């Protein structure tokens, strides 16, 4: 087997403002939220790296990407740079819940004057394609180095109880939303039957720094296991804590610095602690800052702290190898009993009358929740029918070797345990997991839960939320590791 030889690196960066100029329907909740202004801008950031092979990383302040948007971005880039393989573009979302919808149909039609999901998607495709093209055309000889830092940001958000919550007096089923056993996302920890937090947390921050020919720092990939959802329930356009983090890093290291965020495996993580909330709030009050500023302080501190260490080993010649392929994974099979439950849920939701609340905002909220839940029931029932003909789910996965580090990108909201398995067994010294990369199932089963989560159910681990289950999750782990091993062979 031939040895792999490092190549001279060419690096290019670019960014685009993707903030809409009109009100939009925000993605991420079961009810419609028409934006009421802009709290902070949305950004798309592109990093092009060439050296033997080529790869373009694109990070977007958004929820997730429908296939049509991914295809549109690649086609737009291909039209301007025919020599760049469109499959070399790895696109990920930061998973903020305060960015626009990219499709229509999951909610009622938007009011007059509000930008539709399709209209925003067209705007986004044009803007991010311009950023990718600029990053590619601006690439020049540069150097790169990596480092590992730590910052407490993501927390496991699933509480587990001694009893079955569905058997408690007064329990009500939630068709289209979730089924319940002994776990609950954002469950109360002051409950007398609270047992424990379901899973692990990963506070590592994987960092890739780049420099130009003059040895000036040009950009940073910041990869950590937490979606951008600290102020996720607001009705304003916002990049959430990544905006505050960009501001904090640039204040320390340079206002022109490019910052490309990546959300690592974090399907069961969020920035919200389930216990010690009062203690956390007290410390914020004593500091005189809010929770987003605190997250930004933690991330920017570690980014700046380990930079001098990374500089010691920066290199302009590294092995670069990218693999992109469709992995066929076992589906999360919907049982006959669950299919019967889905039909019952559809019937109940279809009979539910429209809201008569005199408050128009409350009326819109109630009616939009019904539309969303009904759509999710129908999507799950459609999967039940599809699994009879095809028990596999095709997911595009990407692996990249850059020197002694690796990137592994998947389209799911991947529970943390899978990310840890990959990191622990990877041949790379550091492995940057990237979730919600490429086209993902979206409303039709984004989450990929662990076996213990599937047993406890609740939101994120049930038939409404999972196109792929624990069996497919482990198959995904093994496939990614196989590709990474191949990248290190020779």
- Mean pLDDT value across residues 378-382: 97
Query: Given a cut of 70, is residue 215 above it in pLDDT?
Result: yes
Residue 428 confidence (pLDDT):
98
Residue 432, token pair as written in the block = 């940057």
CA atoms within 13 A on the CB side of 186: 5
3-state secondary structure at position 276: coil
Mean pLDDT of 203-223: 98
Range 123-128 average pLDDT: 98
Token pair belonging to 231? 């102020």
How do 143-150 and 140-141 pair as beta strands?
unpaired
**Distance of alpha carbon 369 from its chain centroid, rounded?**
23
Q: Assess whether pLDDT exceeds 90 at residue 4.
A: no
Are 117 and 41 in contact, with CB atoms under 8 Å apart? Answer: no
Pick from 1-15, 203-217, 242-256, 403-417: least confident? 1-15
Q: In the structure encoding, which two tokens stand for residue 209, read together?
A: 């720094």
Per-residue pLDDT of 454-488, as tens digits, reads 999 999 999 999 999 999 999 999 999 999 999 99
The rounded distance, in Å, linking the Cα atoms of 214 and 298 is 29
Closest by Cα among 413, 488, 484, 407 to 445: 413
N- to C-terminal Cα separation, the chain: 6
Name the band, by pLDDT with cuts 50, 70 and 90, for residue 65. Answer: very high
Question: What is residue 178's DSSP assignment?
Answer: B
Q: For residue 61, what is the DSSP state?
A: S
What pLDDT is attached to residue 3? 62
Assess whether pLDDT exceeds 60 at residue 2.
no
CB 97 within 8 A of CB 63: yes
Looking at the predicted structure, is the pLDDT value of residue 57 above 80? yes
Q: Is the dihedral of CA 372, 31, 103, 185 positive or negative?
A: negative
Question: How high is the pLDDT of residue 369?
Answer: 95
Give mean pLDDT, residues 336-342. 98
- List the one residue out of 223, 219, 92, 226 whose CA is nearest residue 148: 223
Six token digits for residue 227 = 């979606």
Check whether 75 has a pLDDT greater than 70. Answer: yes
Look at residues 318, 313, 315, 316 and name the one whose alpha carbon lies nearest to residue 52.
318
Residue with tokens 């093209």: 133
User: Is the pLDDT score of 179 beyond 60?
Assistant: yes
**Rounded to the nearest 10 degrees, what angle do helices 291-311 and 277-287 cross at?**
80
- Do 319 and 4 touch, CB atoms closer than 8 A? yes
Contacts of 255 (CB under 8 A, 6+ apart): none
Q: In this predicted model, what pLDDT tens digit does every residue of 274-288 receive, in sequence order?
A: 999 999 999 999 999
Structural element, H or E, at residue 379? helix 360-389
The helix (H) or strand (E) run that includes residue 207 is strand 204-211
pLDDT of 70 reads: 97
DSSP assignment letter at 165: G
Q: What is the pLDDT of residue 299?
A: 98
Residue 1 has pLDDT above 60, yes or no: no
**Bridge pairing between strands 269-270 and 155-156:** antiparallel
Whole-angstrom distance, CA of residue 78 vs CA of residue 313: 35
The mean pLDDT value for 333-345 works out to: 98
Q: What average pLDDT does range 386-414 have in this prediction?
A: 97
């Amino acid at each position: 087997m031939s040895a792999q030889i490092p190549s001279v690196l060419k690096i290019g960066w670019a960014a685009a403002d993707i903030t809409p100029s009109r009100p939009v329907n925000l993605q991420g909740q079961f009810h419609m939220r028409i934006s009421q202004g802009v709290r902070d801008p949305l950004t798309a950031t592109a990093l092009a790296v060439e050296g033997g092979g080529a790869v373009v990383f694109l990070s977007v302040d958004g929820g997730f990407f429908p296939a049509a948007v991914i295809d549109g971005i690649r086609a737009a880039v291909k039209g301007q740079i025919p020599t760049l393989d469109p499959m070399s573009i790895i696109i990920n979302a930061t998973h903020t819940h305060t960015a626009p919808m990219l499709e229509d149909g999951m909610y009622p039609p938007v009011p007059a004057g509000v930008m539709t999901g399709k209209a925003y998607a067209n705007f986004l495709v044009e803007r991010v394609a311009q950023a990718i093209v600029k990053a590619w055309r601006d690439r020049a000889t540069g150097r790169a180095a990596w480092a590992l830092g730590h910052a407490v940001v993501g927390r496991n958000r699933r509480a587990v109880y001694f009893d079955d919550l569905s058997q408690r007096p007064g329990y009500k089923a939630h068709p289209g939303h979730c089924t319940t056993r002994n776990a609950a996302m954002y469950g109360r920890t002051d409950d007398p039957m609270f047992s424990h937090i379901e899973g692990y947390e990963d506070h590592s921050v994987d960092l890739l720094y780049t420099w130009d020919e003059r040895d000036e720092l040009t950009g940073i990939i910041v990869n950590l296991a937490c979606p951008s959802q600290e102020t996720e329930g607001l009705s304003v356009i916002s990049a959430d804590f990544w905006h505050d983090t960009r501001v904090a890093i640039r204040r320390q290291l340079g206002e022109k610095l490019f910052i490309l965020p990546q959300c690592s495996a974090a399907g069961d993580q969020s920035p919200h602690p389930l216990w010690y909330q009062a203690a956390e709030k007290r410390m914020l009050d004593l500091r005189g800052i809010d929770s987003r500023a605190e997250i930004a302080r933690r991330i920017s501190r570690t980014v700046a702290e380990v930079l001098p260490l990374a500089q010691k080993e920066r290199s302009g010649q590294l092995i670069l190898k990218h693999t992109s392929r469709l992995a066929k994974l076992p589906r999360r099979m919907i049982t006959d009993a669950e299919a019967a439950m889905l039909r019952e849920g559809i019937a109940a939701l279809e009979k539910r009358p429209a809201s008569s609340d005199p408050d128009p905002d409350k009326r819109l909220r109630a009616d939009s929740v019904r539309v969303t839940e009904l759509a999710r029931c129908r999507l799950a029932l459609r999967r039940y029918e599809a699994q009879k003909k095809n028990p596999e789910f095709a997911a595009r996965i990407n692996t990249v070797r850059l020197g002694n580090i690796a990137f592994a990108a998947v389209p799911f909201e991947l529970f943390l345990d899978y990310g840890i398995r990959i990191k622990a067994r990877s041949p790379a010294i550091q492995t940057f997991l990237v979730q919600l990369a490429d086209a993902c199932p979206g409303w039709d089963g984004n989450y990929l839960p662990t076996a213990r989560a599937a047993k406890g159910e609740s939101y994120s681990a049930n038939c409404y939320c999972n196109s792929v289950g624990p069996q497919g999750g482990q198959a995904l782990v093994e496939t990614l590791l196989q590709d990474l091993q191949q990248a290190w062979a020779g």
